[in-house]
Structure 1
Amino acid sequence: MRWTSLEEAGKSGIMSRSARLLDLIQLLRRHRRPVSGRTLAGEMGISIRTLYRDIATLQGQGAPIEGEAGLGYVLRPGFMLPPLMFTDEEIEAIVLGSRWVAKQPDSRLSAAATDALAKIAAVLPDDLREELDASTLLVGPAAGAVEGIDLSLVRQAIRNERKLGFLYRDAGGAASERMVWPFALGFFDKVRVVVAWCEARQDFRHFRADRISGLNATDVRYPRRRQALLREWRTTLDTPRSPPGG
C-alpha cells in the first residue's frame, strides 16, 4: 500500500490508522523538546482522545516516546522506524541528493551516498524500487576542480571538534600557515569551502579547499562546541565581512 501523507489524507478525508501513526512519529521527530498532546493533536488534525490512543499504541509497539498527558511528549533520539513507504517526491529527493553527492570529489562521501541509496532500495517494495531506479532527475557532470587534500579528514575534524593546521594560499598566491577550528564544510559546484574560526585572524574565515595544502589533522580539541560556533557564525552572515578566501 502506498504511503499516504497527512496533507493528502486530509484532502481525501481518508487516513488509515497505520499511516496516521507514521505521521505522528515523523511529527514527534521534528520536535526536539517535549510538546503537548493538544499541540500534536492540532497539527495532526485529530481529537486529543485519538492522540492519546495513538501515543499509547506506539509506546506499546516499542516506540521510545516519553511523557504523559499534561506534561508533553518527546521521542527519544536514535529510534529507527521499520521500512517506510515514500511519496514520489520523497523518492525523487532521495535519488537526486544521492546522485549529486556521489559526484563530489570527496571519494568516501561519494561512496557512502551510493551505498545509502542501495540500502534504501533494498527495503522498498517492488513498485517503489522501480520508481527509484527509473528516476528521471539527473545530475550534470562534476566540475573539473579537484582538491589536493582529503576532505574526509576535514569532516572527521568537524565531527570530533579537533583543530586543523594547514598552509593556505589566498587569491593572490600569498601563503600563510593557519590553525583553525573547523565546524562546517560547504559544497558548491566548483569548490568546497571550509568554514572555521581562525586563530591567526581571531575571526571566522572561509577557506577554499583547493587552496589548502599540508593538511595536519591534530588530536587537539578546540575549546568551543561546533554547534555554538555554527550559531554564532550564522549571526554574522548579514554583517559585512572580508570575502571568502581566508
Structure 2
Amino acid sequence: MRRAERLFQIIQILRRSHAPVTADAIATELETSKRSVYRDIAALVGQRAPIRGEAGVGYVLEAGFDMPPLMLTPDEIEAAVLGAQWVAGRGDPVLAKAARDLISKIAAAVPERLRPYVLEPATGAAPAWNAAPDGLDIAQTRAWIHAGRKIRLSYRDEGGAVSERIIWPVSVAYRETVRMLIGWCELRKDFRTFRTDRVVNATFLEDRHGQRPGRLRGLWQKHLETQHAAWARKGLD
C-alpha cells in the first residue's frame, strides 16, 4: 500500500471509531508496522489533521474534520452497489428510488475503468420478494424516528384484536416478507415490535418523546442484550 493511500486509510479508521484507536489496531488493519503508524500519525498531525492521542493509549479524530471525497476502491464500489440493489428491491418507495439514484450517481462519478464494477458487478441482490403491504407511511416513519416524535397506532395482533398504542419509534427492520417497526410502547412500558402490515391506522403526532434518537436506540440495544442473556440462561436450565 502506498503511503498516501495509507494516510487516507488511517483517517478513515479514526473517523469510523467512537473510541480511541491504538497504533496496534491500526497497524493490524493496514498490515504494516507500529513504527510506520507512528510516523504516519505524525505526518497527518503535521498536515493539520486534528488527531489527539499518544502512543500506547490510542488516537481520536476530533469532530468537524473534513476532507475531499476519497476515490472508491473496486471492493467499496461493489459493496455500495450490492447494498443499493438490496434497498432498491426491498425499501419503501422513497428509499428504493434513492437507492437507484445512488447507483446512477456512483456510475457517473467513478472513472471509466471502474464503471464495470457498477454496471456489471460480480455480486447481486436476490430478486425482490412480494412484501406484505405496509399499514403506515414508512418514509414518514423514518422521518419521525430522526425527529424523535411519537406515533399513534391502531394495531391488529395475530388473533385479530385491535389495540391503540402510542409508541416512540426506534427503527424499521426488514424480515423476509414483512417490515417491522420497533418502538417503545407507552401502553406496555417496554420495547415492542410491530409488523407494519398489521397496522390498521397511524397518526404521526407532533409530540416529542424527549429522548435523543441515538440514546433511544442504545436503550433498545441494551434491552435486546438483556433479552438474549435471559434466553441463553433458559437454554442452560
Same fold flag (TM > 0.5)? yes
How far did 1:210 drift? 0.8
- State how far apart, in whole Å, the 2-side matches of 1:169 and 1:119 are: 41
Q: Which amino acid aligns with 2:102?
A: A
- State how far apart, in whole Å, the 1-side matches of 2:91 and 2:110 are: 29
Structure 1 residue aligned with 2:149: 162
Relative to total residues, which structure has the larger helix share, 1 or 2?
2
Structure 2 residue aligned with 1:227: 217
RMSD over equivalenced CA pairs, Å: 2.5
Q: How many residues are matched? A: 225
- What's the % identity of the aligned pairs? 42
Structure 1 residue aligned with 2:12: 26
Residues 83, 123 of structure 1: 8 Å contact kept:
no
Picking from 143, 146, 167, the partner of 2:130 is 143
Q: 1:43 to 1:86 in 2, by over 3 A?
A: closer
- State how far apart, in whole Å, the 2-side matches of 1:62 and 1:139 are: 45
TM-score (norm 2): 0.81
Q: 1:126 to 1:237 in 2, by over 3 A?
A: farther
Residues 64, 75 of structure 1: 8 Å contact kept:
yes
Residues 195, 206 of structure 1: 8 Å contact kept:
yes
Structure 1 residue aligned with 2:95: 109
Residues 163, 182 of structure 1: 8 Å contact kept:
yes
How far did 1:126 drift? 1.2
Residues 171, 181 of structure 2: 8 Å contact kept:
yes
Q: 1:135 to 1:36 in 2, by over 3 A?
A: closer
How far did 1:130 drift? 1.8
Structure 1 residue aligned with 2:234: none
TM-score (norm 1): 0.79
How far did 1:169 drift? 0.6
Q: Unaligned regions of 5+ residues in structure 1, if any?
A: 1-14, 241-246
- State how far apart, in whole Å, the 1-side matches of 2:29 and 2:70 are: 24
Secondary structure (helix, strand or coil) at the match of 1:103 reads helix
Q: Deviations over 1:103-155 (max 9, x none)?
A: 22511111221222223223212111122101252431331422131101211
How far did 1:73 drift? 1.9
How far did 1:62 drift? 5.7
Q: Unaligned regions of 5+ residues in structure 2, if any?
A: 232-237
Structure 2 residue aligned with 1:209: 196
Residues 96, 139 of structure 1: 8 Å contact kept:
no
